[in-house]
A and B are shown apart, each in its own frame.
Chain A
């Protein structure tokens, strides 16, 4: 289908199914039950899942295929976000031009950064990209305050009147798609369960499906093969008379545009930008997402993104009171012991849990979560041929 091989088609259809049915899949627990704490099927988090999925897919095109580790990818996300918010403020409240504008600006910026940074490889490349990202962050934080709003960031104000949209005097414009409010949600109540269908989420989901499809095509194309060649042995490529530069630059720009798309979507879902979106920890986060899920695989980065965002948003919200409720059945003293044992790992300790999980995955599953999934599947397969199957799927983890 759509020029994909059978295995890829299956993968794409599975991803499509998961994305479109996410409101059901992510809300497995009834609203009133104690487990509702772990439900992730609310619009904000679902949007974050797919947006950071896009970001990680794009990052993976660069890192997974060419092996160039960019440590400044958040800069493109941020630049895309600023471009999108200015489009919403000045041009139109419709999100489509905003997203297109975000992709173009991020692409142009990636072209500039890539042109300079790709003169070096390995750690020097990483440092150069990191420097660019930190520079962008510092500029956005203070020097370019008139353009970026500084620390406070940019939002749509009631004084903004975009060129193509009519906003009543004194009203604050809202991002929309063909006149429909991005925040519009429908709630479906079935017994004790509630499922929320949010327009913004579905727009982001469709964008992710397109991004995912393009990434499959890139992975399978001759261009993708060239990028793999850059990764496996750049010198040999040089000696055969091929210059790796255009390929790496193209991969860098494509991946920057993916980041721009993610940035644009973030603004479309939540019309606000702050400079910390470009901070180096944000760049590090996408590296962790990709490595955690499985670098160089198609699905891995999306899984990694979902995993991290789940921890950040769900585990960080478990506080002492909730723990006391959980362990309320235990005898008093024992309850307190359990709470004080678990508490360091939830709430503000979510970083700790995530760090431990990350270490476990890297040590025992160097291929990321995806390798874990394959191992589990391998247990149930009649003829376990993990290496051959992985080769055919093209899901060989990056080393």
Chain B
């Protein structure tokens, strides 16, 4: 088909088609609301982006349960849960600003690429006005950056790395969950009073971003108490057998082992450590101890009896006796038959906080919602009085130091709260070196188009 023949008719035809094509844009719809995905009609769509497959699928499933519960409560179904105990009474169970809440779900697969693809499809196809969820800091940071770019609010789910509201903080992103720094700051005093101030610590750290920030946080707060760090060894994330990492610990001169591991990693490394007899061992004339900075009930049930007596920190625990926690545990338990995890709690709370901020701002526009959340002080959501700090969009609240229970009453009753570390003790300056220093800024909020 190398023959080309320009006929007069052909040229005219092409010209007409091209002309029609050029006039097309005048029929195209413009976003006249001033921000991306402004809800039209009587519904509003939220995007729940959680890991449904991969290593954190358990957390993801629990998060999704919490979101469904939150949507029910926002729409005025069920018993209302924490809506009744929330200090801000702007929400009345008629959806958000009178619009019924609908939702779409996606699978992050705990991969930033897949998470972003799923979030983009929620934004571009389903018209979601807010994205929330996730169970890994890598995913949270990636999706947060995407939402910033697209002009959507991101309410982080379970993400514990300092970076999410530290060096990677974004104006459109908000985190209710606590972080590595807070874990370290809350744990150190308890450890010092339990184990003394002249301990020598050995760190095993999951070899990725969250592991680094957690190790750094625990190290600097324990060293400030007088501890010494003997060694810090990085372990591959995909490692399942930690015996080769545990065996050198006993001869290293250390008397405390800190496991900066999460999920399956922590279950395996802790089990290995206990099998190696570290709990019974003595070093430097003291009992050998193990510490797990970030605890969750799902992990504790994986590690079984090995968690007994081991200290760690957690964002929230279902056994808390305040009104908000009890209301949440009650409605969650009635619907699903077991108590919620801390991942479920933070996701539920984030959804309510978003809905409340929209209602108080009177608009779904991200900048207005952001303004309503910044510096917002609230109570009744399970963690006591809490502040959404304006400088980095991090929630500041009391942190729980927990210990594996010696005599669990049920399969869910695995952790006991040892101490509630007051918020002042875990507060840091927004330009703290662990949080990216002075370079870290939120940037400007983005309403999209």
- Give the interface of A toward B (CB within 8 A): 1, 4, 6, 9, 39, 42-45, 48, 138, 141-142, 145, 150-153, 155, 158-159, 170-172, 174, 183, 186-189, 194, 196, 270-272, 274, 276-277, 279, 312-313, 316-317, 319, 321, 347-348, 350-351
Task: Give the residue name and chain of the B residue nearest to A279 (CB).
Answer: B111
Task: Give the residue name and chain of the A residue nearest to B120 (CB).
Answer: A44
Smallest Cβ distance from A276 to chain B, in angstroms? 4
Given contacts A42-B124, A316-B52, list 9 more A-B pairs with CB under 8 A.
A6-B1, A44-B120, A151-B138, A152-B209, A159-B439, A189-B28, A272-B112, A274-B111, A277-B113
**A321–B101 alpha-carbon span in the complex (Å):** 13
Q: Check A155 against B443 for contact (C-beta < 8 Å).
A: no
A residues near B52, Cβ cutoff 8 Å: 316, 347-348
Smallest Cβ distance from A321 to chain B, in angstroms? 8
Q: Which 3 A-B pairs have the closest CB atoms?
A: A348-B52, A151-B208, A274-B112
B residues near A43, Cβ cutoff 8 Å: 120, 124
**A142–B138 alpha-carbon span in the complex (Å):** 13
A residues near B417, Cβ cutoff 8 Å: none
Task: Give the residue name and chain of the A residue nearest to B143 (CB).
Answer: A272
- Give the interface of B toward A (CB within 8 A): 1-2, 24-25, 27-29, 52-53, 57, 103-107, 111-114, 116-118, 120-121, 124-125, 136-138, 141-142, 145-146, 148-150, 161, 163, 168, 207-210, 212, 234, 236-237, 439, 441, 443-444
A residues near B2, Cβ cutoff 8 Å: 1
B residues near A194, Cβ cutoff 8 Å: 29
A residues near B117, Cβ cutoff 8 Å: 44-45, 48, 312-313
Instruction: Evaluate whether A276 and B443 lie within 8 angstroms (CB atoms) in the complex, with A44-B117, A187-B29, A188-B27 already known.
Output: no
B residues near A312, Cβ cutoff 8 Å: 114, 117
Instruction: Evaluate whether A272 and B443 lie within 8 angstroms (CB atoms) in the complex, with A42-B125, A313-B118, A317-B121 already known.
Output: no
| Residue among A172, A312, A351 with max Cβ neighbours from chain B (10 Å) | A172
Instruction: Evaluate whether A276 and B111 lie within 8 angstroms (CB atoms) in the complex, with A1-B2, A44-B120 already known.
Output: yes
Instruction: For A196, give its contact among B1, B124, B236, B439 (CB under 8 Å).
Output: B124
- What would 9 A/B residue contacts be, using CB atoms closer than 8 Å? A9-B1, A45-B121, A141-B208, A151-B210, A270-B116, A271-B149, A312-B117, A316-B118, A317-B121
Instruction: Evaluate whether A186 and B111 lie within 8 angstroms (CB atoms) in the complex, with A317-B106, A347-B52 already known.
Output: no
Instruction: Evaluate whether A317 and B142 lie within 8 angstroms (CB atoms) in the complex, with A158-B443, A196-B124 already known.
Output: no
Q: Check B106 against A142 for contact (C-beta < 8 Å).
A: no
Q: Check B149 against A170 for contact (C-beta < 8 Å).
A: no
Q: Check B441 against A186 for contact (C-beta < 8 Å).
A: no
B residues near A42, Cβ cutoff 8 Å: 120-121, 124-125
Task: Give the residue name and chain of the A residue nearest to B142 (CB).
Answer: A272
Task: Give the residue name and chain of the A residue nearest to B3 (CB).
Answer: A1
A residues near B105, Cβ cutoff 8 Å: 317, 319, 347
B residues near A270, Cβ cutoff 8 Å: 116, 120, 146
Instruction: Evaluate whether A44 and B149 lie within 8 angstroms (CB atoms) in the complex, with A276-B113, A348-B53 already known.
Output: no
A residues near B125, Cβ cutoff 8 Å: 39, 42, 45
Instruction: For A272, give its contact among B53, B57, B116, B439 (CB under 8 Å).
Output: B116
**A312–B118 alpha-carbon span in the complex (Å):** 9
**A155–B138 alpha-carbon span in the complex (Å):** 12
Smallest Cβ distance from A221 to chain B, in angstroms? 18
B residues near A158, Cβ cutoff 8 Å: 441, 443
Q: Check B138 against A153 for contact (C-beta < 8 Å).
A: yes
B residues near A189, Cβ cutoff 8 Å: 27-29
Task: Give the residue name and chain of the B residue nearest to A185 (CB).
Answer: B124
Instruction: For B236, give its contact among A39, A138, A170, A188 (CB under 8 Å).
Output: A138
B residues near A153, Cβ cutoff 8 Å: 112, 138, 141-142
A residues near B142, Cβ cutoff 8 Å: 152-153, 155, 272, 274
Task: Give the residue name and chain of the A residue nearest to B2 (CB).
Answer: A1
Q: Check B25 against A186 for contact (C-beta < 8 Å).
A: yes
Task: Give the residue name and chain of the B residue nearest to A319 (CB).
Answer: B105
**A150–B167 alpha-carbon span in the complex (Å):** 14
A residues near B209, Cβ cutoff 8 Å: 145, 150-152
A residues near B112, Cβ cutoff 8 Å: 152-153, 272, 274, 276
Instruction: For A44, give its contact among B57, B124, B138, B237 (CB under 8 Å).
Output: B124
Task: Give the residue name and chain of the B residue nearest to A347 (CB).
Answer: B52
Q: Check A152 against B137 for contact (C-beta < 8 Å).
A: yes
Q: Check A171 against B168 for contact (C-beta < 8 Å).
A: no
Smallest Cβ distance from B237 to chain A, in angstroms? 7
A residues near B163, Cβ cutoff 8 Å: 152
**A388–B441 alpha-carbon span in the complex (Å):** 65
Q: Check B118 against A152 for contact (C-beta < 8 Å).
A: no
**A153–B137 alpha-carbon span in the complex (Å):** 11
B residues near A186, Cβ cutoff 8 Å: 24-25, 28
| Residue among B208, B212, B236 with max Cβ neighbours from chain A (10 Å) | B208
| Residue among A138, A141, A174 with max Cβ neighbours from chain B (10 Å) | A141
| Residue among A6, A151, A272, A350 with max Cβ neighbours from chain B (10 Å) | A151
